[in-house]
Homo-oligomer: A and B are copies of this chain.
Amino acid sequence: MNHRLTVVGLGPGQHDWCTPEVTALFDQATDLVGYAPYLARVPAGCTARRHASDNRVEAERAEHALDLAAGGGNVVVVSSGDPGVFAMASAVLEQLDEHPERWCDVHVSVCPGITAAQALASRVGAPLGHDFCVISLSDVLKPWSVIERRLDAAAGADFVIALYNPRSRHRPHQFTDAIAVVCRHRDASTPVVVGRNVGRDEEAVTITDLERLDHTTIDMSTIVIIGSSTTRVLDRPTSCQVYTPRSYAEPRLLPSVAQCREAGASPARYSPL
């Protein structure tokens, strides 16, 4: 009897981004639980029972996986990307938290994976080469006011910003609102990288800037990386690349919190450009 549940990430799309740690687990699993398109990416040689579920039923999926493990299984919950970043690891731990007496004997662990922002960043160079934030724009599970507040803080402090779940059919205007918040602090020429289906056959990556960014091309299959004030585009003969330098040589552009307070101003109102 195993009583074991492991939450794993396949990485985004490309099969050779899945770590050997995760691949080895498939050989020992009795049950695989996950969103159907992710389970379809598990190698056919894996003979574990497959329990496919629909999108947006993370709590039910986690509960089902925990029940299978409590029944003695060696259960693998399959996420795309990194299961610890806007994915199933939190959903499983939420269930344990809500039901402290249930599933006491199930050992739960997590294996990391390449997350979509890293994959997209690698395609164009190193836009995440310096301090960065990762924000989900979905307001299904948090109020828009929190999202707006975080965008304002991240842009005001000149972080590179990676946006997950940037624009859904149900809230197309919110992406435009989010970009407007960023534009309070960031120049129109700030580099923006848009990646759709990164790591899959239909992958499309675009390098643009805040001014020219076509909002209508953004949807839930997209990841958006917005540069900081120091992020640069390199137009080379062989390719166009984007990177954020390791050094931050312009202290005068970003006054310290203390200086802002001395001046009686909110740090967020200082623009780095």
Interface stretch, picked from A32-40, A128-136, A206-214, A215-223, is A128-136
**Given A14-B21, A234-B96, A266-B266: A241 and B108 interface contact (C-beta under 8 Å):** yes
Per the bound structure, the CA–CA distance linking A90 and B112 in Å amounts to 23
Chain B residues with CB under 8 Å of A96's CB are 234, 236, 241
Is there a chain B Cβ closer than 8 Å to A27's Cβ?
Answer: no
Is there a chain B Cβ closer than 8 Å to A24's Cβ?
Answer: yes
Chain B residues with CB under 8 Å of A121's CB are 84, 110, 112
Taking CB atoms and an 8 Å cut-off, the chain A residues in 136-166 that contact chain B are 136, 141-143, 145-146, 148-150, 152-154, 156-159
Interface of A is mostly: mixed
Asked if B243 and A114 make an inter-chain contact with CB atoms under 8 angstroms apart, the answer reads: no
**Oligomer copy total:** 2
Chain B residues with CB under 8 Å of A150's CB are 131, 157-159
Question: Which residues does A use to contact B, with CB under 8 Å?
Answer: 11, 14-21, 24, 58, 82-87, 89-91, 93-94, 96-97, 104-115, 118-119, 121-123, 125-136, 141-143, 145-146, 148-150, 152-154, 156-159, 181, 232, 234, 236-239, 241, 243-248, 251, 254-260, 266-268
